[in-house]
Amino acid sequence: MTLAENLHPGVAYVFPGQGSQVVGMGMDLYYNSPAARQVLQETEEALQVPLRQLLFKGPSEELNKTSIAQPALLAVSLACLAAYREEAGSNGGVKPAFVAGHSLGEYTALVAAGALRPFDAVRLVKARGRLMQTAAEIRPGGMAAVLGLDEETVESICRETGTQISTVNSEDQIVISGERLALARALDLATARGAKRIMTLQVSGAFHSELMEPAREGMAIAIEESEIRTPETPIVANTTGLPLTSPQAIKQELIDQLCQPVQWHRSVKFITGSGVSTFLEFGPGRVLTGLVKRTCREAKVYNISDIKSMREAVAAIP
């Protein structure tokens, strides 16, 4: 029986993106799971940076750099997945009906779906982080989360200020991107129009906006040089919230998501509307756990980030 024939209709795997990184992530798994240890060692060799030292000891300023944070999160999320499959034994754990990743996490989802080899994912994410960092230096900007306003209101604010919606996390949690002055004006307008909370994000650029345009060409070249296979599990795309099932569609998605918004709310609605009621989040933090619950309160969500949480997930979903 192939993986595709053994999909569990009620389960989805999800993978976090940049912002979930924290010093110490992956350390428990590294010392307690041979499979996770192998993933982290191989990723360090592929990156040619002291990855384990940065993960376990920091400093956070270095770990938070886009060029480091992105491959580091990929590595730890893949380590979490490897540990889960190892603990689950010969069947490799519950096979999901869908996989999805938030921004950077889309690359981890591609590996989980069998569409991208881990080494190629590391190479692409390393290039992505470098290109996005360079784009941020060429066209500086920032990002901020707006809570308590609907998408239509935020879109109106963006039109008035020259900013862009860059992520729709839930009905009332929307991230905008833009040049610093334009972003400040947008946040003032959001406050005046009733936003419950404004949070400036600690990122180095205006990701998922037109300010990332300088990264597109280099990313397109890197993606075209990579072997992307037909996925064994449908991947729900960031830019559309709909499944990707062909290599060409995946390649186009990875280019488009640099400058287009992450439609996470739409993705979760599609997945739950397709019969999924249980989500496994592989990676540090509980960002996606919280966002899934905001969209679907009835969903069961398990975050797998260390040995304890991994074993609890294996026991809960036989």
| Catalytic positions, written as ranges | 103, 208
Tokens (6 digits) for 75: 């590595």
Dist. CA 291–CA 63, nearest whole Å: 24
Name the burial class of residue 224, with classes exposed (0-12), middle (13-18) and buried (19+) by CB atoms within 10 angstroms of its CB: exposed
Tokens (6 digits) for 138: 């060429």
Q: Residues 220, 255: contact at Cβ < 8 Å?
A: yes
Q: Residues 172, 252: contact at Cβ < 8 Å?
A: no
Angle at 222 between CA 262 and CA 38, to 5 degrees: 85
Tokens (6 digits) for 284: 């540090």
Dist. CA 44–CA 78, nearest whole Å: 13
Q: Residues 15, 77: contact at Cβ < 8 Å?
A: yes
Q: Residues 288, 14: contact at Cβ < 8 Å?
A: yes
Dist. CA 302–CA 61, nearest whole Å: 29
